[in-house]
Amino acid sequence: KKGGSNKYGGRMGWFKAYRQAIKDGENEEGGEEAEAQDEDERKQMKPDFSASLLHRYHWHRIVLDEAHCIKDRRCNTAKAVFAIASTYKWALSGTPLQNRVGELYSQIRFLQIDPYSYYFCKAKGCNCSSLDFSMGKDWRKCDGCGHSPLQHYCWWNRIIANPIKYNGYTGKGYDAMLILKNEVLARTLLRRTKEQCADDLALPPRQKYLRKLPFDPREEDFYQALYTQSQSQFDTYVSSGTVVNNYAHIFDLLIRLRQAVNHPYLVVHSASAAMRAAAEAAAGMLEDAGKEPATPTEPEAEAELCGLCHDPLEDPVLTACKHSFCRACAMDYAANAGDKAKCPKCPKLLTIDFSQTADAPAAKTILPARAFKKRSILSRIDTARFQSSTKIEALREEIYRARQRNPSAKVLVFSQFTSMLDLLTFRLEQTGLNCVKLEGSMSLDQRDTIIDRFTNDPAVTVFLMSLKAGGVALNLTAATHVMLMDPWWNPAVEQQAQDRIHRLGQFRPIRVTRFVIKGSIEERILKLQEKKQLVFEGTVGGSSEALGRLTEEDLNFLFS
């Protein structure tokens, strides 16, 4: 059946009455399902794919690689995929679940599995079922059976999503997790891990190391001052009961703390004027750090920064309110903030079409090399008085040891912050190491040139890249070492970064090293990673426990 029209017109008044009827307790049996799907379903548009070559044919089989990319069923990419007709469908993904259980629905919907993908009518004697919530022009009755929207429910919402949403992972929520694991995924999922296929893949062993480093005294003073300031602000939100309403600001506080752990320069010399102003109170803790007076950020430069990580934009996406963010930052923020997330830059609800590509208006033009240098943090510090950090020196030592064990060893270095990559490049080249760096703003030709240099030039030892730009879709088996400078909220992202070298074509043992500062927010992030891993194992894997996105309880834990 066809989805609803995109011309709402006078229907808005009816929707207000519809929501009020739900709140007043009418249709108690299906109220939760209808209310939960109301906002989403009435906003679904029916794109026109008549000009698309892919949509002109009925295919024998569709194989959808990286299927987790359609986890937002409302984006145009997901709608386009849903609309392709075929007899058989496969969805392939190494990370089908990254943050929330709800992300699985879009993949189930693509596969069109009955009953998990369908909407049903609960009117007595009605056998209506549909893949879409189709309520005609006036949005008052079903196109198929003529019954009202209140009589219809989504199987996934009623059985899986709503019990977990309203009960967490206890009671009915726990029962829903068991249904998801033992019924839905047991019938639809074929999982093959590297361990299960070890004999066929013949992959070399992978050794993992976690280096917990002590703070340098000056770094610790700076961090503790910033942490105290951030904790005080968070406690204000807690006491006023406005934690959820101020999620964007809290997320910003967490990012500043994570940057301070890497190097105080990332906060003191941030390109964001707002961040520099917020850091002034803590900046005095750095003695002789080469700090130059902060100057207001030009509007043009500000527009080129991600509104979340405050680094230059990488693979940018544009919100409906015209604010730009790195795609990975926006997806991470949206997944953790929940369905009612507000834009981090304004009070409006966050609305992003993640199907935007490099050709979309949101994407900035490819910048020449001189533009990279102008935007670099190195242009804002006195490099003659450069001071390193605990993490940077630990990385330098680790690379030195790797080269001692094998003089031809090549290393991948990942960080979430491009400014950190700039500092790493500067320090490593000071010590005589030949480095290349992958920028999210590089053209495909530039990326290919960089990758070719790293792969084929014996003199190039280190490849630096952000998790946003280099975590997926790269094959870099020339390297045997992966070094992760900072933990990501989602362990699946780090896993994909490691898989750049631990894959078919790799014949040498590999070594993965993660750097974490003791007594910092990073240790708490590691614990939250364990929780997110439980979500994956509790549904896709074999465990019965699960926990989801950053809840208010998680935020309290981070600032405790």
362: Cα separation from own chain's centroid: 18
| Cα–Cα separations (whole angstroms), residue 152 to 30, 120, 126 | 8, 5, 10
Helix and strand numbers (H, E) in the chain are 23, 13
Rounded to whole angstroms, how far apart are CA atoms 247 and 236?
13
**3-class DSSP state for residue 123?**
coil
Any idea what the Cα angle at residue 440 is, between residues 388 and 54, rounded to 5°?
160
Domain extents for the chain? 11-188, 199-213+389-519, 219-367
Name the nearest CA neighbour of 5 among 190, 182, 135: 135
Q: What stretches of 431-466 show up as alpha helix (H) in DSSP?
A: 444-456
pLDDT value of position 55:
92
Q: Could you tell me the two tokens for 43?
A: 């906003």
Rounded to whole angstroms, how far apart are CA atoms 152 and 512?
50
Rounded to whole angstroms, how far apart are CA atoms 74 and 4?
13
Q: State which amino acid sits at residue 177.
A: M
pLDDT value of position 473:
58
Question: For 89, phi and psi rounded to 5 degrees?
Answer: -140, 135
HEC-encoded secondary structure of 6-50: CCCCCHHHHHHHHHHHHHCCCCCCCHHHHHHHHHHHHHCCCCCCC
Give this prediction's pTM.
0.65
Report how far apart the first and last C-alpha atoms of the chain are (Å, whole number).
51
Question: For 274, phi and psi rounded to 5 degrees?
Answer: -65, -40
Rounded to whole angstroms, how far apart are CA atoms 131 and 91?
18
Rounded to whole angstroms, how far apart are CA atoms 317 and 314?
9
Rounded to whole angstroms, how far apart are CA atoms 482 and 266?
23
pLDDT value of position 324:
84
Per residue in 334-370, pLDDT (tens digit) is 766 666 677 888 878 777 776 555 444 444 434 444 4
Rounded to whole angstroms, how far apart are CA atoms 243 and 236?
9
The count of C-alpha atoms lying within 13 angstroms of the C-alpha of 11, restricted to the half-sphere facing its C-beta, is 18
**3-class DSSP state for residue 352?**
strand
pLDDT value of position 272:
64
Residue with tokens 């005080």: 232
DSSP state of 271: S
Pick the CATH number of 219-367 from 3.30.40.10, 3.30.450.20, 3.40.50.261, 3.60.20.40: 3.30.40.10
Omega prior to 115 cis, within 30 of 0: yes
Give the relative orientation of helices 247-262 and 327-337 as an angle to the nearest 10 degrees: 130
Rounded to whole angstroms, how far apart are CA atoms 86 and 111?
10
**3-class DSSP state for residue 284?**
coil
Quickly name the fold that domain 199-213+389-519 has: Rossmann fold (3.40.50)
Q: Which residues of the chain have pLDDT under 70?
A: 1-46, 98-99, 169, 194-201, 271-304, 335-340, 354-375, 441, 468-473, 532-553, 560
Across the beta sheet with 129-130, the strand order is 129-130, 119-121, 152-154
Q: State which amino acid sits at residue 418.
A: T
Residue with tokens 């075929």: 86
Q: Could you tell me the two tokens for 476?
A: 């870099």
Per residue in 201-252, pLDDT (tens digit) is 677 888 999 999 999 999 999 999 999 999 999 999 888 988 877 888 888 8
Q: What stretches of 180-216 show up as alpha helix (H) in DSSP?
A: 186-188, 198-201
Name the nearest CA neighbour of 61 among 89, 81, 40, 97: 89
**3-class DSSP state for residue 73?**
coil
Give the relative orientation of helices 247-262 and 273-283 as an angle to the nearest 10 degrees: 60
